[in-house]
Amino acid sequence: MAASLRNTLRRALLYVPGSSQRFLDKSWLLTADCVAYDLEDSVTPHKKAEARRLVRQALDQPAPPTIRERAVRINSVDSGLALADLSEVLQSPNLTTLVVPKVHSASDLTFITDVIAHTLGSDTFAQRKDSLSILALVESARSLTNLNEICRATPLLQGLIFAAEDFALDLSLTRTPSLTEFLFARSAIVTAARAHGLPSTMDLVCTAYRGAEGLRILEEECRGGKTLGFNGKQCIHPTQVETVQRVFAPEVEEVEWAVRVVVADGKAGSQGRGAWTLDGKMIDAPVVEKARAIMRRAELCGVDITGLQEKWKDQEPE
């Protein structure tokens, strides 16, 4: 299954504090695209060693089918703890994804890649390198200005994550509900990821998680992030996962439109028409490509595409 994690669906990434057996136990019961056992900021310094042990134990158990991907957020390279984290978690064959915090420059990721290669040994690295992914947290001004070299640093890199709290600290910003202070950073991250063909772009954590008001703020943030081009979002509490996965999945109307476009395009193509009309709007190659991308993502999200193709099989171009 591991190889299929590349380019896979990663809408919600839920952090589970690695030092808490209670949280780790709870994570087995969840339905989530990606669960990330955290060894970094949710773990106090004197609990780091214990957390490594607990996370390793959790990783060694087979994944419940409701969890698509299990990641570990290690400590940053400049903390001096990353080597010990990697040495422990890389021993588990179930590890598929490393979330690397505070990636300031390409050298952070080349260090991690070298450690992985060295720890696994050349044969195992060759076997596992197509199934191991790195997601890099962008959370500093340096990181933002080095995005191109970070994106090129290692073939293991599969996505970028924006972390607002450390970024706000670095830039002496104050987070506001509108999030406009992060607009440049968020757009730069999404643009760099697209430019370098990285499939995952995960947006900032919504720190409000309690009650109806928490869910309202979360939904608004998800819609804003999706509009900017993010395809997922970090979560800190299980109650956030469902909303994130729903909003970052294609909407029903969007999928129906995409199926109609692709069905009608097949007919337009056989009539030699590259540009044609649907619902009074012009459709041409980039629109059809977008429709295909929506269908692919919808399929990963569990939408019955075959059923929809059957429903719309008579769709004609106008």
Question: E strand or H helix at 161, and its extent?
Answer: strand 157-162
Bridge partners of 34? 13, 69
For residues 122-151, which are near Mg ion according to CB under 5 A?
Answer: 139
Instruction: In whole angstroms, give the CA distance from residue 27 to residue 40.
Output: 17
Which residues form the interface with ligand COA (CB under 6 A)? 14-17, 22-23, 26-27, 38, 41-42, 205, 236-238
In angstroms, rounded to a whole number, what is the distance separating the alpha carbons of residues 16 and 18?
6
Alpha-carbon distance of 246 to 124, in angstroms, equals 37
Q: Cα(45)–Cα(308) distance, rounded to whole angstroms?
A: 52
One of 118, 166, 224, 287 touching Mg ion (CB under 5 A):
166
Binds 37: which of ligand COA, Mg ion, none (CB < 5-8 Å by kind): none
By beta-carbon proximity to Mg ion, the closer residue of 72 and 295 is 72
Q: How far is the CB of 163 from ligand COA (least distance, A)?
A: 7
**Identity of the residue, 16 or 291, whose beta carbon is nearer to ligand COA in the bound complex:** 16
Residue whose CB is less far from ligand COA, 17 or 250: 17
Q: Which is nearer to ligand COA, 86 or 202 (CB)?
A: 202
Sign of CA dihedral 209, 299, 227, 159: positive
Q: How far is the CB of 274 from ligand COA (least distance, A)?
A: 47
Residue of the chain from 163, 193, 249, 278 that contacts Mg ion (CB under 5 A): 163
Contact present, 71 and 35 (Cβ < 8 Å) = yes
Q: How far is the CB of 241 from ligand COA (least distance, A)?
A: 9
Q: How far is the CB of 101 from Mg ion (least distance, A)?
A: 5
In order, the DSSP letters of 59-96 are HHSPPPTTEEEEEEE---GGGT-HHHHHHHHTT-TT--
- Smaller CB separation from ligand COA, 13 or 109: 13
Task: Assign 131 to helix, strand or coil.
Answer: coil
Look up tokens 């890649």; give the residue.
113
Nearer of residues 237 and 273 to ligand COA, judged by Cβ: 237
Contact status, residue 134 vs residue 100, Cβ threshold 8 Å = yes
CB of 254 to ligand COA, least distance (A): 30
DSSP bridge pairs for 289: none
Q: Which is nearer to ligand COA, 20 or 105 (CB)?
A: 20
Q: Which does 15 bind (CB under 5 to 8 A by kind): ligand COA, Mg ion, none?
A: ligand COA
β-bridge partners, 137: 161
Nearer to ligand COA, 40 or 256 (CB): 40
In the complex, what is the shortest distance from the CB of residue 137 to ligand COA, in angstroms, rounded to a whole number? 10
**219 is a site residue for Mg ion (CB under 5 A):** no
Q: Which does 166 bind (CB under 5 to 8 A by kind): ligand COA, Mg ion, none?
A: Mg ion
The secondary element (H helix, E strand) that includes residue 294 is helix 285-300
Q: Which two tokens stand for residue 218?
A: 């979360």
CB of 53 to ligand COA, least distance (A): 18
Contact 15/236 with Cβ under 8 angstroms? yes
- From the CB of 52, what's the least distance to ligand COA, in Å? 15
Measured CA to CA, the distance from residue 40 to residue 48 in angstroms comes to: 8
List contacts with Mg ion (CB under 5 A): 139, 163, 166
